């Protein structure tokens, strides 16, 4: 099997040619060894970071930006999004607080990308 892959590890975006033959993987076109590692992972067990938002109960900040703290298996991204869509934050959080622990049993946490700002004084009755 042969595949062309663009390395997304750094902005250079090397175009790599990856070939699997008799369980041996050859990678060409990578400018550094990180590209080879990415290509092998991409061919065997691709993973991705996930950046999205979760809903909150707070009208002054209805959606909270969140992200994964490690990478998720690529084939679990849609399932992870369903879990995130079903989540509603109803408490104050700080940046990097865990919002969903060990999502789908992957060991990956969904964490806050920023502080959830306090309710403005004049709206504290919300």
Question: What radius of gyration, in Å, describes the C-alpha atoms of the chain?
Answer: 19
Question: Cβ of residue 34: shortest distance to ligand SF4, in angstroms?
Answer: 4
CA 17 remoteness from chain centre: 25
- Site for ligand SF4 contains 46 (CB under 6 A): no
The residues near 63 (Cβ < 8 Å, ≥ 6 apart) are 53, 54, 55, 56
Nearest to 31 by CA among 17, 12, 45: 12
Q: By Cβ distance, which residue is nearest to ligand SF4?
A: 35
Q: How far is the CB of 80 from ligand SF4 (least distance, A)?
A: 25
* Site membership for ligand SF4, residue 84 (CB under 6 A): no
- From the list 7-15, 45-53, 62-70, 101-109, the region that binds ligand SF4 by CB under 6 A is 7-15
Count of chain residues binding ligand SF4 (CB under 6 A): 11
Structure tokens at 58: 């707070």
Binding site for ligand SF4 (CB under 6 A): 7, 9-10, 12-14, 30-32, 34-35
């Amino acid at each position: 099997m042969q595949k062309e892959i663009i390395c997304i590890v750094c902005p250079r975006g090397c175009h790599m040619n990856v070939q699997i033959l008799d369980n041996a993987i050859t990678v060409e076109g990578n400018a550094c060894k990180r590209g080879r590692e990415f290509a092998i992972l991409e061919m065997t067990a691709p993973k991705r970071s996930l950046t999205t938002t979760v809903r909150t109960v707070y009208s002054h900040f209805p959606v909270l930006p969140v992200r994964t703290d490690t990478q998720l298996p690529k084939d679990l991204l849609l399932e992870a999004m369903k879990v995130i869509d079903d989540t509603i934050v109803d408490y104050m959080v700080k940046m990097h607080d865990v919002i969903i622990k060990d999502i789908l049993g992957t060991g990956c946490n969904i964490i806050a990308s920023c502080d959830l700002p306090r309710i403005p004084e004049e709206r504290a009755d919300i």
